[in-house]
Amino acid sequence: MKELLKEILDKCYKYTDEGAVANYIPELAKANRKEFGICVITDANSVFAVGDHDKCFTMQSAIKPIILLLALMDNGEEKVRSLVGTESTGKPFDAFNYSDQALKNEHINPMINTGAIALCSLIKGKDYEEKFRRLLNLARKMADNPNLEVDENVYLSEKLTGNKNRALAYMLKAYGMLEDNVEDVIDCYFKACSIKARSTDLAKIAFVLANHGTNPLTGEEICSRDYAKYINAVLMTCGMYDGSGEFAVNVGIPAKSGVGGGIMGVVPNRMGIGIYSPALDRKGNSIAGIKALEMLSKKLDLSIF
């Protein structure tokens, strides 16, 4: 496996020159586009890592599956679905313009910013400090890494300049979908996006989901099988944003990307994958990361279809 990963890393390295690192906030524009790491976990004793697998990056949207998981664990499926739906487009089959529709749960999903921001408000805790701490602890447990922390510079950069996300949160409030104070909720979302991880951490988190909620590395049951399946299904249809259809055809596994350059890939019952390469395509997905996943999927026949 390690040889195969090395070969994939070598063959895909040229793609690190394509696209651009995220620049919607100043701090992310500092990323080194040449960094490229892959980690694959197939069982407790088989962790294979190559390249810059130990380099830290911020999880960004790769935290969204964990926000969804905690919202499910704290509230159950019905409540979660009543606020944030599961459809990738949220548009009726004959829609050509839905901009004048009121915002409803069925228009958003947990893997877009609006959905994830709404779900932050469902996390239990006496205040947003406690809610965020519980989210960080769940991420640490899934990654089996007590050292996961917030990157303060990225967090402050998001907080100062992430006005589009702030606008999305105010839109939720305007449509009666957010009970709490907008600034508290958005602060929790900004911190969540700013959690630092390595490809190895993403691979471990993905491995827990691949094993339907149990961490085979520690034997601990983190969540129910049903919730893990819920998350994997949503990752399959919405995890790569508006690139999810293309990704389903070319790679065929549940996955989640983040604009920090990370991608976690879940191969149910088989493997957890974590990749890092910060240069992104126009949809916000790592270009070299997707190429590497395509190659890995073809070589090992990973597509669930």
List, in sequence order, every residue forming a beta bridge with 43; answer none if it has no partner.
46
Query: Does residue 277 bind ligand GLN (CB under 6 A)?
Result: no
Given the complex with ligand GLN, which of 259 and 293 has the nearer CB atom?
A: 259
Instruction: Return the residue of 67, 111, 188, 193 that touches ligand GLN, per CB under 6 A.
Output: 193
Whole-number Å distance between alpha carbons of 194 and 270? 29
Per rule CB under 6 A, count of chain residues that contact ligand GLN: 9
Q: Crossing angle of helices 128-143/64-75, nearest 10°? A: 110
Structural element, H or E, at residue 4:
helix 2-12
Instruction: Return the residue of 19, 110, 258, 289 that touches ligand GLN, per CB under 6 A.
Output: 258
Query: Does residue 142 bind ligand GLN (CB under 6 A)?
Result: no
Give the up-direction half-sphere exposure of residue 240: CA atoms within 13 A in the CB hemisphere.
27
- Tokens representing 170 are 């105010």
Of the candidates 47, 64, 84, 194, the residue annotated as catalytic is: 64
Cβ contacts of 163 within 8 Å, gap of 6 or more = none
Whole-number Å distance between alpha carbons of 39 and 264? 10
Q: Which amino acid is at 134?
A: R
Of the candidates 15, 189, 227, 276, the residue annotated as catalytic is: 189
Query: Does residue 41 bind ligand GLN (CB under 6 A)?
Result: no
Given the complex with ligand GLN, which of 167 and 233 has the nearer CB atom?
A: 167
Query: Does residue 296 bind ligand GLN (CB under 6 A)?
Result: no
Structural element, H or E, at residue 188:
helix 182-193
Q: Is 241 annotated as catalytic?
A: yes
Interacting positions 195-254 with ligand GLN (CB under 6 A): none
Residue 262 Cβ, how far from ligand GLN at the closest point, in Å?
9
Residue 149 Cβ, how far from ligand GLN at the closest point, in Å?
17
Q: Is 189 annotated as catalytic?
A: yes
Query: Does residue 259 bind ligand GLN (CB under 6 A)?
Result: yes
Q: Is 61 annotated as catalytic?
A: yes
What count of other Cβ atoms lies within 10 Å of the Cβ of residue 242?
14
Residue 90's φ and ψ, nearest 5 degrees, are: 70, 10
Query: Does residue 165 bind ligand GLN (CB under 6 A)?
Result: yes
Query: Does residue 61 bind ligand GLN (CB under 6 A)?
Result: yes
Q: Is 155 annotated as catalytic?
A: no
Query: Does residue 284 bind ligand GLN (CB under 6 A)?
Result: yes
Query: Does residue 280 bind ligand GLN (CB under 6 A)?
Result: no
Query: Does residue 113 bind ligand GLN (CB under 6 A)?
Result: yes
Cβ contacts of 71 within 8 Å, gap of 6 or more = 80, 110, 119, 122, 123
List, in sequence order, every residue forming a beta bridge with 215; answer none if it has no partner.
220
Whole-number Å distance between alpha carbons of 267 and 246? 17
Of the candidates 21, 47, 50, 61, the residue annotated as catalytic is: 61
Given the complex with ligand GLN, which of 48 and 158 has the nearer CB atom?
A: 158
Alpha-carbon torsion angle 96, 99, 100, 106, nearest 10: 90
Q: Which residues form the catalytic set? A: 61, 64, 189, 241, 259
Catalog residues that contact ligand GLN under the rule CB under 6 A. Answer: 24, 60-61, 113, 165, 193, 258-259, 284
